[in-house]
Amino acid sequence: MNVFLIGYRGCGKTTVARHLAARLGWPWVDADEALETRAGKSIKQIFADDGEGAFRDLESAIVAELAEGDQQVVSLGGGAVLRAENRAALQGRGFVVWLQALPESLAARIAADATTAQRRPNLTSQGGIDEIRTLLDKRAPLYEELADLTVDTDRLSPEGVAERIAADMQERKLV
């Protein structure tokens, strides 16, 4: 049993993963950090040097490896759900939680994170809130299809989100 946190960049996956892992007594892994460590460069640099296809290939390898783990909380990259092979790797390997937020909240959180611009590329020519809306329109059905639980992060602190997930897991007798 693993917990996989999915959702758009800025929804709080990494922060919630740390809190949830502490509550469960499990380790946590940030898939994007694992990917950057393996590549030896930032996601932004991977996109610049090798293109999105190479990034997605490496992301798929990381997702497959993490899905084979047990009793860990995994924060996945926002676009990890785009490939069917990634979605298939997660199904049956853990509890998938979609962390949801309004586009305006996501834009504000992304803008407030000083490391985002250094480590993450824009994924469309639009950038900003227009990019968020465009990509959410594409990704939301995939997040929804995969999620065992959806939590609105606009209304809860990261600790509150972790509590909500842990309580739901206890109700389902997953822990």
Distance CA 167, CA 175 (A): 10
**Residue with more model confidence, 102 or 110:** 102
The model's pLDDT over 115-174, given as tens digits with 9 standing for 90+, comes to 665 566 555 556 789 889 999 999 999 999 999 999 999 999 999 999 999 999 999 999
In this prediction, residue 113 has a pLDDT band, given cuts at 50, 70 and 90, of confident
> Does the 2-171 domain belong in CATH 3.40.50.300?
yes
The answer to whether the CB of 4 falls within 8 A of the CB of 95 is yes
Q: Model's pTM, two decimal places?
A: 0.93
In this prediction, residue 50 has a pLDDT band, given cuts at 50, 70 and 90, of very high
* First and final C-alpha spacing in the chain: 9
Q: CA–CA distance from 95 to each of 58, 73, 115, 124 (Å)?
A: 23, 9, 29, 30
Distance CA 95, CA 117 (A): 30
The model's pLDDT over 92-107, given as tens digits with 9 standing for 90+, comes to 899 999 999 999 999 8
Tokens of 80: 């990890």
